[in-house]
Amino acid sequence: MAAMHEQRRERGRICFVDHYHYGSSAGQPSKRAAVVMAVKSWAGFTDFEYGSLWAHWGRAASKKVKCGQTGIGGPWSCDISARPCR
């Protein structure tokens, strides 16, 4: 399915030009845990659609991470997005 999206070389990787994937998490005890779970969400769906070569957050481009906490001392959640690269 990756071939259906326009791709280009960026810093030694092949990336989707304008196709983003999203991940999210909720109810986590810390911001770090919320980010980790959101990245797992992003990678899992990316792997499902395009395969493991595309599912590495570390290779992704145009990353955005937005996290928040419910109240003082409450659980954390994050929403992330990035363009998959291989």
Sign of CA pseudo-dihedral 46, 48, 51, 55: positive
Stretch 40-54: mean pLDDT: 96
Regarding predicted confidence, which is higher, 30 or 4?
30
Contact criterion met (CB below 8 Å) for 23 and 47? no
Q: Distances in Å between the alpha carbon of 62 and those of 15, 49, 81?
A: 10, 19, 8
| pTM reported for the whole predicted model | 0.90
Summarised one tens digit per residue, pLDDT across range 63-81 is 999 999 988 889 999 999 9
Three-class secondary structure of residue 30 per DSSP: coil
